[in-house]
Amino acid sequence: MNKDELTEVNHLIQRINRIIQEVKKHNGKIFIDAEQSYFQTAIHKLVLEFQEQYNRDNLIVYNTYQCYRKTTLDLLRQDLSRSKTNNFHIGIKLVRGAYMDQERKRAAEMKIIDPIHPNFLATTESYHRALFETLQNAKNNSNKTHVFVASHNENTVEFALKTMDTMNIKRNDGIVSFATLFGMCDYLTFPV
């Protein structure tokens, strides 16, 4: 990075810090969304630093994990381990992903490995595995792990509820939240 770019990054970090401090003042939560893979590594590392800084006593900052990416499960495992080792709350928003066409096109044009799972089934398997491991971590980590199930898929919501039952996680334990984009599947989220 050149000097101007470094200055921009520092200003960005200052602005995000001010936003998070304001959210903290009002006992709120902030969800940092995920973007294309070529931006996401930097975003993810930055958010993880904010989590470690602000999520010491309670959960404020959430990071988003795109389960259609092949590397997500390993990344999630690393972050869960880091939160436990460094003793901070970790907020995990699980999504399938939104940039499949762009990612595939870019990979083909650049002749690089496609970063996305080959199909919906593989993505669903990744999502369910990530959800299972996050819930397992939550049960073993003194409730310092929270997962936000962001899915419009009925089977995924059912999987989450069954897994919660199996692990004896109550719906009001504060470990799991459910949501859909702009209320697209209220019939799924209202009952839970």
Residue 80, helix vs strand vs coil: helix
pLDDT for the residue numbered 42: 87
**pLDDT category, 150, cuts 50, 70, 90?**
very high
Q: Which residues contact 115 (CB under 8 A, 6 or more apart)?
A: 37, 69, 70, 71, 103, 107
Whether 94 maps to a domain, the answer reads yes
- The rounded distance, in Å, linking the Cα atoms of 123 and 100 is 11
**pLDDT category, 187, cuts 50, 70, 90?**
low
Whether 100 maps to a domain, the answer reads yes
Burial 54-88 (b: 16+ CB within 10 A, else e): bbeeebbbbbbbbbbbbebbebbeebbeebbeeeb
- pLDDT greater at residue 73 or residue 153: 73
Q: Give me the CATH number covering residue 145.
A: 3.20.20.220
Digit-coded pLDDT (tens) for 41-57? 888 999 999 999 999 99
**Lowest mean pLDDT across 29-38, 41-50, 91-100, 159-168:** 29-38
Whether 182 maps to a domain, the answer reads yes
- The rounded distance, in Å, linking the Cα atoms of 28 and 45 is 22
pLDDT for the residue numbered 182: 60
Q: What is the pTM of this model?
A: 0.89
pLDDT for the residue numbered 22: 96
Whether 9 maps to a domain, the answer reads no
Instruction: Give residue 125's domain range.
Output: 28-189
Q: Output the furthest CA–CA distance in the chain (Å, rounded).
A: 53
Whether 3 maps to a domain, the answer reads no
Whether 23 maps to a domain, the answer reads no
Whether 1 maps to a domain, the answer reads no
- State how many domains the chain has: 1
| C-beta separation of 66 from 92 below 8 A | no
Whether 50 maps to a domain, the answer reads yes
